[in-house]
A and B are shown apart, each in its own frame.
Chain A
Amino acid sequence: MSETRRAFRQFLRHRGAVIGSVIVLVFVAIALLADVLSPHDPLAQDLVHRLEAPSATHWLGTDDFGRDVLSRVLHGSRVSLRLGLVAVAVALLVGGTIGLLTGYYGGWLDLIAMRVMDLMLAFPSILMAIVVVAILGPSLTNAMIAVGIMAVPQYARIVRASVLSVRGLEYVQASRALGAADPRILARAILPNIAGPIIVTASLGLATAILDAAGLSFLGLGAQPPIPEWGSMLSQGRELVLVAPWVLTAPGVAVFLAVLGFNLVGDALRDLLDPRRT
Chain B
Amino acid sequence: MFSYVLRRLGLLVPTLLGLSILTFSLVHLVPGDPAAVMLGERATPEALTALRAELGLDRPLYEQYGRYLSGLLAGDLGRSLKTREKVAVEIGTRFPATFELALAAILFAAVFGVAAGILAARKRRSFVDAAVMAGSLAGVSMPIFWLGLLAILLFSVQLHWLPLAGRIDPSLAVPRLSGFLLIDTLLAGRFDAFVDVARHLVLPAWVLGTIPLAVIARMTRAAMLDVMTQDYVRTAWAKGLSERRVLLVHVLKNALIPTMTVIGLQFGYLLGGAIITETIFAWPGVGRWLVLAVSARDFRAVQGGVLLLATLFVVVNLVVDLLYAVADPRVRLAGGDE
> 24 A-B pairs, CB-CB below 8 angstroms?
A118-B15, A119-B19, A122-B19, A122-B310, A124-B269, A130-B290, A135-B26, A135-B30, A138-B295, A211-B143, A231-B143, A231-B145, A234-B145, A241-B149, A245-B153, A248-B149, A248-B150, A252-B143, A255-B143, A256-B141, A256-B143, A256-B146, A259-B141, A260-B137
- Complex contact B26–A134 (CB within 8 A): yes
A115 is an interface residue with CB less than 8 A from chain B? yes
- Complex contact A123–B313 (CB within 8 A): yes
Interface stretch of the complex, out of A176-184, A188-196, A216-224: A216-224
Q: How far is the CB of A130 from chain B (nearest CB, A)?
A: 6
Q: How far is the CB of B46 from chain A (nearest CB, A)?
A: 25
Chain A residue, CB-CB nearest to B291: A219
Kindly list chain A residues whose C-beta atoms are within 8 Å of the C-beta of B15.
118-119, 122
B194 is an interface residue with CB less than 8 A from chain A? no
- Complex contact B290–A126 (CB within 8 A): no
B157 is an interface residue with CB less than 8 A from chain A? yes
Tell me how many residues of A have a C-beta within 8 Å of chain B. 44
How far is B141's CA from A238's CA once the two chains are assembled, in angstroms? 20
A98 is an interface residue with CB less than 8 A from chain B? no
Taking a contact as CB atoms closer than 8 A, the residue among A115, A116, A219, A263 that contacts B276 in the complex is A219
- Complex contact A263–B18 (CB within 8 A): no
A96 is an interface residue with CB less than 8 A from chain B? no
1/0 per residue A217-249: CB within 8 Å of B?
011110000000001001101100110010010
Taking a contact as CB atoms closer than 8 A, the residue among A134, A137, A251, A252 that contacts B302 in the complex is A134
> Contacts A215-B143, A234-B149: A134 and B294 contacting too (C-beta < 8 A)?
yes
Chain A residue, CB-CB nearest to B311: A122
Q: How far is the CB of A54 from chain B (nearest CB, A)?
A: 16
Q: Which of A's residues lie within 8 Å of B, judged by CB?
A: 115-116, 118-119, 122-127, 130-131, 133-138, 207, 211, 214-215, 218-221, 231, 234-235, 237-238, 241-242, 245, 248, 251-252, 255-256, 259-260, 263-264, 267
How far is B275's CA from A255's CA once the two chains are assembled, in angstroms? 19
Kindly list chain A residues whose C-beta atoms are within 8 Å of the C-beta of B273.
124-127
Kindly list chain A residues whose C-beta atoms are within 8 Å of the C-beta of B118.
none
Q: How far is the CB of A119 from chain B (nearest CB, A)?
A: 4
- Complex contact A221–B291 (CB within 8 A): yes
Kindly list chain B residues whose C-beta atoms are within 8 Å of the C-beta of A255.
143, 146
- Complex contact A263–B30 (CB within 8 A): no
1/0 per residue B308-327: CB within 8 Å of A?
01100110010000000000
How far is B15's CA from A241's CA once the two chains are assembled, in angstroms? 43
Taking a contact as CB atoms closer than 8 A, the residue among A127, A134, A219 that contacts B310 in the complex is A127
> Contacts A122-B19, A122-B310, A135-B30: A215 and B276 contacting too (C-beta < 8 A)?
yes
- In the A-B complex, the 6 residue pairs with the closest CB atoms: A252-B146, A124-B272, A260-B141, A259-B141, A119-B18, A255-B143
Q: How far is the CB of B261 from chain A (nearest CB, A)?
A: 15
- Complex contact B310–A123 (CB within 8 A): yes
How far is B140's CA from A207's CA once the two chains are assembled, in angstroms? 10
Kindly list chain B residues whose C-beta atoms are within 8 Å of the C-beta of A207.
141
B99 is an interface residue with CB less than 8 A from chain A? no
Kindly list chain A residues whose C-beta atoms are within 8 Å of the C-beta of B143.
211, 214-215, 218, 231, 234, 252, 255-256, 259
How far is B19's CA from A230's CA once the two chains are assembled, in angstroms? 33
1/0 per residue B125-155: CB within 8 Å of A?
0000000000001101111111001101100
1/0 per residue B289-300: CB within 8 Å of A?
011001101010
1/0 per residue B278-291: CB within 8 Å of A?
01100000000011
Other contacts beyond A119-B22, A124-B269, A124-B271: 7, CB < 8 A: A119-B18, A131-B302, A134-B26, A134-B302, A135-B30, A215-B145, A219-B276
Kindly list chain A residues whose C-beta atoms are within 8 Å of the C-beta of B268.
124
- Complex contact B145–A220 (CB within 8 A): no
Chain B residue, CB-CB nearest to A238: B149
Chain A residue, CB-CB nearest to B154: A245
- Complex contact B149–A130 (CB within 8 A): no
Kindly list chain A residues whose C-beta atoms are within 8 Å of the C-beta of B138.
256, 260
Q: How far is the CB of B133 from chain A (nearest CB, A)?
A: 10
B31 is an interface residue with CB less than 8 A from chain A? yes
How far is B149's CA from A234's CA once the two chains are assembled, in angstroms? 9
- Complex contact A135–B29 (CB within 8 A): yes
**Which of A123, A133, A137, A263 counts the most B-chain CB atoms under 10 A from its CB?**
A123
Q: How far is the CB of A262 from chain B (nearest CB, A)?
A: 9
B306 is an interface residue with CB less than 8 A from chain A? yes
Chain B residue, CB-CB nearest to A219: B291
Kindly list chain A residues whose C-beta atoms are within 8 Å of the C-beta of B271.
124
- Complex contact A130–B150 (CB within 8 A): no
Q: How far is the CB of B253 from chain A (nearest CB, A)?
A: 24
Kindly list chain B residues whose C-beta atoms are within 8 Å of the C-beta of A248.
146, 149-150
How far is B265's CA from A122's CA once the two chains are assembled, in angstroms? 11
How far is B291's CA from A255's CA once the two chains are assembled, in angstroms? 22
Chain A residue, CB-CB nearest to B301: A134
Kindly list chain A residues whose C-beta atoms are within 8 Å of the C-beta of B294.
130, 133-134, 138, 221
Kindly list chain A residues whose C-beta atoms are within 8 Å of the C-beta of B313.
122-124, 127
